Amino acid sequence: MSTLVTREDKDGLALLTLNRPDKLNSLTVGMFRELRAHAIALKKDETIGCVVLRGAGRCFSAGHDLGDIAEGEKVPSPGWHSETLRMLETLPQPVIAAVHGHCYTGALEVALAADFIIAADTAKFGDTHAKWALTPIWGMSQRLPRRVGVATAKRLMFTAEMINAAEALRIGLAEQVVPADEFDAAIDALARQILANSSFSHAANKRLLEATDARDMDSGLQWEILRNEGVGPDMQARIGAFMRKD
């Protein structure tokens, strides 16, 4: 059983928890190995319709474990961390990053691999690569500007500034901010809202958005028409249930 990243399933929701609370969930090769195993399993698990990724204890994660970096951590292959986050990003299920407390640098790269971020009002975000004379190799240079725009991404990367949840919401890094004492309930309610809709549509929409990101409008519209995945196996049942309510 995983210990560094735990998985709890409940009524179609998979809750993945970064589980090194004594180290502020700082990220190691071991944690990524377990996160990768969960992503592989979830891709094939049709009983799960939504995934929430969060951290145990005081925060989401303080970032990449600097001790591991200093000691020269051993990764299975070049780009392995980035590949693991790509596996998380391309899951057929919607993935929510639920962020409270620290979410710095490598942790932000992990959160950005989710479909969107929901933040507690205690959350703090930052990219400190430049503070340590490092450069991103887990996806920051690609996902951050897509989320907040190039100029804002440059400001965050160049200054290593820490921003609070309200600023993260303002710039589009976070989709929603909720009070810390309501965080668990808000995440569960959002996940249930997603689970109430068609998993077929969710997976198809994720593929559509991925395929047409950064395309010009006309080619994107053509892709939507020509590569349309049609209707899901639950369409008739869903429409029938709606009609019977009337």
| Mean pLDDT for the chain overall | 94
Nearest to 18 by CA among 7, 113, 142: 7
- Residue 1: pLDDT over 60: no
| Domain architecture of the chain: domains with CATH | 5-195 (3.90.226.10), 199-245 (no CATH)
Q: What is the mean pLDDT of residues 33-55?
A: 97
Specify the pLDDT at position 70: 63
Tokens (6 digits) for 211? 């395929």
In tens, the pLDDT along 146-158 reads 999 999 999 999 9
Q: Measured between alpha carbons, how far is residue 193 from residues 5, 85, 110, 234, 239 in Å?
A: 25, 25, 24, 17, 18
Nearest to 149 by CA among 172, 115, 122: 172
Specify the pLDDT at position 66: 75
- Residue 139: pLDDT over 70: yes
In tens, the pLDDT along 212-233 reads 998 999 999 999 999 999 999 9
Q: What is the DSSP letter of 164?
A: E
Give me Rg for the CA atoms of the chain: 19
Tokens (6 digits) for 1? 């059983």
Q: What is the mean pLDDT of residues 98-103?
A: 98
Specify the pLDDT at position 110: 98
**Cα 195 to chain centroid, rounded:** 17
**To 10 degrees, the CA torsion angle through 4, 190, 115, 222?**
150
The Cα–Cα gap between 83 and 144 comes to: 17
The Cα–Cα gap between 161 and 206 comes to: 31
Q: What is the DSSP letter of 187?
A: H
- Residue 237: pLDDT over 80: yes
Specify the pLDDT at position 2: 54
Q: What is the mean pLDDT of residues 35-49?
A: 97
The DSSP annotation for 200-228 comes to HHHHHHHHHHHHHTT--HHHHHHHHHHT-
Specify the pLDDT at position 214: 85
Q: Is 53 helix (H, G, I), strand (E, B) or coil?
A: strand
| pLDDT band, very low/low/confident/very high, at 239 (cuts 50, 70, 90) | confident
